[in-house]
A and B are shown apart, each in its own frame.
Chain A
Amino acid sequence: MTRKLMPMAFVLAAGAATSLAAAEVAPTDVVYDDYGAIEAPLTDAPTSLEDGAKVMTTRSMGNCVACHAVTALESAPFHGEVGPSLDGVADRWSVAELRGIVANAKKTYDGTIMPAFYKTSGYIRPGDAFTGKAAAEPLPPLLTAQQIEDVVAFLTTLKE
């Protein structure tokens, strides 16, 4: 699988590059395999387990616990039960598979209720966040590349 990174020349031209600038895969450039997995990380920046946990428990971010119970995140109240428990999820899925499910679970499970967190177009009546007003695609993805990698990093620690 080819790792698709934003061309460095573009980043330099945009004037955003420093020696610390992370290369990211844009939502439209993500390569899923036939089973919905993503081999290459979406960013080459270092990941943070702490930030991953924050994304998973914060309503305005991933709010994964809205639907999934996670014993390791018990300090956040009210875990939901719409999706399966994530305890031991790293025993059941590879990193690439976890990344694919977080980015767009419909590539793994056709028809799943789970929203796609790294997708920007192809919606029916796309709205501007929670305002109820229309928004033109591409929409900002629900999570950034960094946030997805932080969540994936956290998920890989969930072993029975």
Chain B
Amino acid sequence: MTRTKLTRTRLGATLGLLGGLAVAAPLAADENADLVINGDLKITVRAEAPAHLDGALSEITSGWIYRSDETQQLEMDDFDNPGMIFVDQAMDVWGTPDGTEGKSCASCHDDPAQSMAGVRAVYPKWNEEAGEVRTLAMQINACRESRMGAEKWDIVKSDMVNMEALIAVQSRGIPVNVAIDGPARETWEKGKEIYYTRYGQLELACANCHEDNYGNYIRADHLSQGQINAFPAYRLKNAKLNAVQDRFKGCVRDTRAETFKPGSPEFNALELYVASRGNGLSVEGPSVRN
């Protein structure tokens, strides 16, 4: 990517010379940087592509490496990571009873640092009893309804997204390892089909940008592989934690398509498939992105 960076730098210099344009060139990304959080938590941001990708990617990479130095740095210390505020908020909710049963998350799961370690890494996951692949959000809602007697949360709203961040943070540094065989296979195949389908008037599949063009710029946007190991993601553009399926929705919308709904069977299948493309990267949420 050296050539790319030279190009961007030259463009920026040219604009500077022309003057009168109050627009900065996109900030350079150091795609070779390593991510260590708080000085000691090593995050795998580059890994060998899983075998099930059949060579579609030579290497899998976290979206963190495509961000500017400044954005990268915000994730390297939890005091700088704005997403951690929402983890704290979720910790309060964790211990607060809700619903007809008078239970909180802590009633059954006690300290999330123990009970939730490794959980994020294996979701979405087949649930034998329910006979379906469940995303983490679905599992949280199942818990709320059946064990707490509480209302379901909207899966893209802050109660849910913040709780997902609290659960994700207990697995930071653990490799994503979602199962795609056995009963999950059918859902995974459905997600794969969606990943490669060219939707909307722009006729774009996920793969067009995130498999064929990662590392390239579309206007000022630096395309990543669209990995989801780092969700929930705190985005500088909307100053909150964002759910992965909300991001899916935005992406499909931007192809000028009728999007799918968060929580739909299509997006649940896509979440399993995209998660599996990141098998081997560390769980990284809550991350910081632009």
In the complex, the answer to whether B199 meets A132 with C-beta atoms within 8 Å is no
B192 at the interface (CB under 8 A from A): no
- Residues from chain A with Cβ under 8 Å of B216 in the complex: 80-82
Question: Is A80 in contact with B258, judged by CB distance below 8 angstroms?
Answer: no
A-B contact count (CB 8 A): 99
The one of A79, A115, A133 that contacts B258, using a Cβ cutoff of 8 Å: A133
Q: How far is the CB of B12 from chain A (nearest CB, A)?
A: 9
Asked whether A127 lies within 8 Å of B7 as measured between CB atoms, the reply is no
A126-160 contacts to B, CB under 8 A, are: 126-135, 139, 142
* Chain A residue, CB-CB nearest to B11: A79
Q: Tell me how far the C-beta of A116 lies from the nearest C-beta in chain B, rounded to whole angstroms.
A: 7
Q: Does A65 contact B (CB under 8 A)?
A: yes
- Decide yes or no whether B197 CB sits under 8 A from chain A: yes
| Beta-carbon contact of B200 and A82 below 8 Å | no
Cβ of A75 within 8 Å of any chain B Cβ, yes or no, is yes
The interface residues of chain B lying within 8 Å CB-to-CB of A40 are none
* B108 in the interface (beta carbon within 8 A): no
Task: Determine the main DSSP class of A at the interface with B.
Answer: loop
Q: How far is the CA of A53 from the CA of B143 in the complex (A)?
A: 56
**Distance in Å from the Cβ of A91 to the closest Cβ of chain B?**
22
Q: How far is B120's CA from A109's CA once the two chains are assembled, in angstroms?
A: 42
Identify whether the interface residues of B are mostly helix, strand, loop, or mixed: loop
Within 8 A of B (CB), among A51-90: 59, 63, 65-67, 69, 74-75, 77-82
- Complex: how many Å from CA A125 to CA B204? 11
The verdict on A10 contacting chain B, using a C-beta distance below 8 Å, is no
Instruction: Please determine whether A123 and B200 come into contact, CB atoms closer than 8 angstroms.
Output: yes
Binary contact readout A29-67 vs B (1 if CB under 8 angstroms, 0 otherwise): 000000000000000000000000000000100010111
A123-B253 CB under 8 A given contacts A77-B21, A81-B4, A81-B216: no
Question: Are A78 and B26 closer than 8 Å at their CB atoms?
Answer: yes
Known contacts A130-B256, A132-B258; is-contact A125 B199 (Cβ 8 Å): yes
A119 (CB) vs chain B CBs: closest residue: B201
Contact-residue size bin, chain B (C-beta under 8 Å from the other chain): 35 or more
State which of B23, B204, B217, B249 has its C-beta within 8 Å of the C-beta of A113. Answer: B204
Q: Are B256 and A129 in contact (CB under 8 A)?
A: yes
Contact with A along B187-227 (1 / 0, CB 8 A): 00000000001111111100011001100111110010000
How many chain A residues have a CB neighbour from B under 8 Å?
33
Asked if A78 and B200 make an inter-chain contact with CB atoms under 8 angstroms apart, the answer reads no
Point out the residues of chain B lying under 8 angstroms from A74, CB to CB: 11, 14-15, 18
Question: How many angstroms between the C-alpha atoms of A134 and B253 in the bound complex?
Answer: 10
Determine if A135 and B258 form an interchain contact, defined as CB atoms under 8 angstroms apart. yes
Residues of the B chain whose Cβ atoms lie less than 8 Å from the Cβ of A126 = 200-201, 256-258
* Residues 107-127 of chain B, each 1 if its beta carbon lies under 8 Å from chain A, else 0: 000000000000000000000
- Least Cβ distance of A78 to chain B in Å? 4
**Could you tell me the distance between the alpha carbons of A133 and B25 in the complex, rounded to whole angstroms?**
33
8 pairs of A and B residues whose beta carbons are closest in the complex: A132-B253, A134-B258, A132-B259, A78-B220, A66-B219, A127-B257, A115-B202, A125-B258
14 extra A-B contacts, CB within 8 A, seeds A77-B25, A81-B217, A132-B249: A59-B219, A74-B15, A74-B18, A77-B11, A77-B15, A77-B220, A78-B26, A79-B219, A115-B204, A123-B203, A125-B199, A125-B257, A127-B258, A134-B258
